[in-house]
Amino acid sequence: MTNSIADIRSGIAEARREAIANGIAEPRVVLVPTMGALHDGHLALVDRAAELGDIVVVSIFVNPLQFGPKEDLSSYPRTLESDVARLADRGVTLVFSPSGDDMYPDGDVSVRVRAGDIGTRYEGRTRPGHFDGVLTVVAKLFHILRPDAAVFGEKDGQQLFLVQRMARDLSFDVEVHGVETVRADDGLALSSRNVYLDDAERRSARVLPAALDAAAAAGDRGIDAVVAAAQSVIVGEPRVELDYLAVVDPATFLPVDGDHHGKAVVLIAARVGTTRLIDNRRIFVN
């Protein structure tokens, strides 16, 4: 495990030299950015990274910039030792686990990436500044590690969209790949925040994927039916408080019109007890 920016840079340079010595003419570095508390969803990202390149770097950093003042920064699960153990035998070349001081020597940054209009919608409306914080740390990781590709989960669909847009808008020479959401047997999307749920909340949380299933099944009856189908599942579970339900165009992440036909993504966020969960699903609207 490497903590400082200087060490990870020399670690990657060394890994490149080794790969070249082993006959890989142009080794590709692939980054998996995480905040730790790793679960099988993260491991799917790591597996995809190993397919995409030769040198896999996993970053583990709980980024204070993306947490609001009333959010769970101090209680966010930190499980560095078991995370590193989970990455063993997974084809990971280097783990980068910088401290807050390494990443933000002045405690904060005065220059940050702005996520723009889409960054203020859905997650961004409930969590103002969240995506500016995400894009700023991802931009820093891209500069520090200079990966050829980076892998993000589709569960955080708005984040994936915004990182792809940042890479294009700011001409980062990095391919940004999405990996399908990994779900538990009951359909709940894996998330580091699922550990906050007690047994009853965990059962209630199943209405999120169930609402997305209902939305997908209503796709042949138009957008209004999609929204109504998802809402009717959520209102049936009193422990779950809907934050937003939106149907967006995957190409723009703007809400679709009522007469939209074709591909769409249903986004959902809800509070189950004190835990906020998000999920999404691609659907087709006839």
CA distance 250 to 243: 20
Q: In angstroms, what CA-CA distances link 76 with 79, 207, 235, 261?
A: 10, 24, 29, 40
CB of 133 to ligand PAF, least distance (A): 8
CB under 6 A: which stretch of 27-35, 48-56, 94-102, 218-226 binds ligand PAF? 27-35
Q: 29-34 and 149-153: which strand pairing?
A: parallel
According to the binding rule CB under 6 A, does residue 181 interact with ligand PAF? no
Verify binding: residue 34, ligand PAF, rule CB under 6 A. yes
Residue 148 burial class via C-beta count within 10 angstroms: exposed 0-12, middle 13-18, buried 19 and up: middle
Helix (H) or strand (E) holding 57: strand 55-60
Q: Is residue 42 annotated as a catalytic residue, yes or no?
A: yes
Q: Nearer Cβ to ligand PAF, position 159 or 181?
A: 159
Number of residues that bind ligand PAF (CB under 6 A): 10
Among residues 42, 130, 143, 177, the one annotated as catalytic is: 42
And the tokens for 217? 């099944």
The tokens for 205 are: 């949380």
**Closer Cβ to ligand PAF, 34 or 275, answer by number:** 34
CB of 83 or CB of 237, closer to ligand PAF:
83
If binding is defined by CB under 6 A, does position 35 make contact with ligand PAF?
yes
Separation in Å, CA 186 to CA 202, 208, 238: 10, 11, 19
Instruction: Considering only residues 141 through 180, tell me which ones interact with ligand PAF, judged by CB under 6 A.
Output: 156, 159
Q: Of the ranges 92-100, 133-141, 219-227, 234-242, which one interacts with ligand PAF (CB under 6 A)? A: 133-141
CA distances from 38 to 35, 82, 198, 281 (A): 8, 8, 19, 22
Binding ligand PAF by CB under 6 A: which of 27, 37, 52, 63? 63
* Min CB(244)–ligand PAF separation in Å: 18
CA max distance for the chain: 61
Residue from 56, 87, 134, 160 touching ligand PAF (CB under 6 A): that is 134
Contact status, residue 90 vs residue 208, Cβ threshold 8 Å: no
Instruction: Show the tokens assigned to 92.
Output: 């990971």
Indicate the residue among 54 and 156 with the shorter CB distance to ligand PAF: 156
* CA 123 distance to own-chain centroid: 12
Does residue 137 interact with ligand PAF by CB under 6 A?
A: yes
Which range, of 33-41, 212-220, 242-250, 275-283, touches ligand PAF by CB under 6 A?
33-41
Active site (catalytic) residues? 42
Contact residues: ligand PAF, CB under 6 A: 33-35, 63, 66, 134, 137-138, 156, 159
